[in-house]
Structure 1
Amino acid sequence: MGVAFVVAEELVCPGVGRFPDPSSCGAYFDCTPNAADGYDLTKDDCRGYTYSTATRTCTDELCNSRSKRSVTPDNHLHSRLCESRPDGFQCANCKTLLVCVKGQAFTRHCREDHFCSERNQFGGAVCYPGEPVACTCVKANTFRKDLYDPQEFFACSDVGAKPKAYKCPDGMTFDESSKLCRNIGGFPSCTAPGSFVNPSNCSEYYSCIAVKHGWLQSSFKCSAGTFFNDVTEMCEDPCKYQFVCQQEGRYPDPLMKGSYFECYLLGGVLKQMRYRCPGGYMWKVNFPGAGKCVEDPGYEDSGYPFHQCTIPDDLC
């Protein structure tokens, strides 16, 4: 979709704003201020639809020249932003202006020193010189989240420098404090396909599906009283794996590698107590009924269904 920046003899900017171009159905022009105390005139059109002077938007009425053929959206990437939205002009990101008509998205990329800005004089979004400030470089050597799209961000090498745009993978947003792309909902990043427990809340889990430009991540929640089992990849009651002493000794906890049970006779009755190894340690069996806490090498997790979870002592 091309946009011509011209000074047309038949068109004169009466001021700052968006105005109809009487030379063609659906045509209009934007007038923005420039450094010479004048106006830059940018011509555009509604891609076969008519332009309304009253609402300063492209309407859903086709021009006569297009009434017998369909109008195809030029950018399906942004079509979701126009679905179920009224006709109008809006910002997809700091550098992309959208024209929404009947749920279809038409795009205009703002030139180097212009940014997408919401302004009443234009009846919505417009490519405007130097504004909004949130889309510009006001500090050197910084990363800033895009004002309109949290999945996008830009880098600034110096004050007033040209912002260099980047985009986080699908399912992630940019976190300015850490300068990293974070998964929506705080789940760990996807590195392999499958289903995985949320280590910060074992009643939640997420799935990872490889797509063309990264990963598609979806989150789920287990029913009350159940945790996600990494081995079976199902939500289960951890108490079904509850350990029961059969004879005296110390035995590994079947739920967590960092815990163990001590079984002892008291008054002729076999009792049990659950203990936890210090942080970074796991229980190692020396022989049946005996063992000790040793440093956890970090790779012996496969046999523990809830190895990333902290199971409360009084859960079962």
Structure 2
Amino acid sequence: MALLFITATTAQNIADDEFTSGVLRQASTDDILYPSPAACGSGQLTICVGCRTVKICVGTDDTANPTQICPSSAPFCNIAEGGCSTIPDDTQDACSEASENLKFRCTGKGKYPDPLSCEGYYYCSGVDRSDDAYRCPSGYTFNSKVQLCQRYYRGCQTVNCTTNGPIIKVYPPNSQYFYYCQYNFADSTTDPSIVMFSCGDSATFDTSANKCIYKCRKEGLYAKSSNPNAYYQCYWYNGRLTYIERSCPQSTQVFDDTKKLCLAHTGDSGKRHHEHKHY
């Protein structure tokens, strides 16, 4: 009988291999630009120069006119509409893949599980910002509780939109997330859009109260991970540790969880600190 010896190094390698980050499918700053885009004409305010890119017609020198990525609330540049739209441009074959990667709507900052696939997740830099889509390597599924792809993880479930039950529902694998299905009643043949939300770290969605409930660890101030402009103030009241959610005085400020202060926003330093591979 052969004996199997597992050294400490081998065991550590197995443990290290259990979790990994996803592979970037579509970066928020990436786009398929048209090879020969039209130039700004008289009376035009914007024109499409890519599947997701719009040019702002502000001057007579078309080469100097600025361009920008369409927001996730209207992520497609539609030539017929002359600007950003919720409808992808079906006249451009190259835009079909881009439209598939942009069906997710960012409702806050952080990672969000793909509601339709256990192998994917999204990173959002803020509300209505463009998202980055990631796919877990073969053999891995996304574990939203540890925010990483995990081997042999069986706790993931996809979202099933039905007209039964509450309008807002808890995401089954992790009550930090909740969602609702947005139906197009004008066209019953189209699939509903699934809008995902996050309560943030240390908070879960309570269906009876129909809101997120934060769990205070101890008295003090704590950042709300899904909204950089907000924070929780935890305090004792009638012998019970409770909280109130507060916002920074200015909408451009972010709450610094180390200094416990609202400070001027200096950029999204937490974005994609480890995801760097592309398909």
Normalised to the residue count of structure 1, the TM-score between the two structures is: 0.28
Larger radius of gyration: 1
Q: Which has the higher contact order (CA 8 A, sep 6+)?
A: 2
Which structure dedicates a bigger proportion of its chain to strand?
A: 1
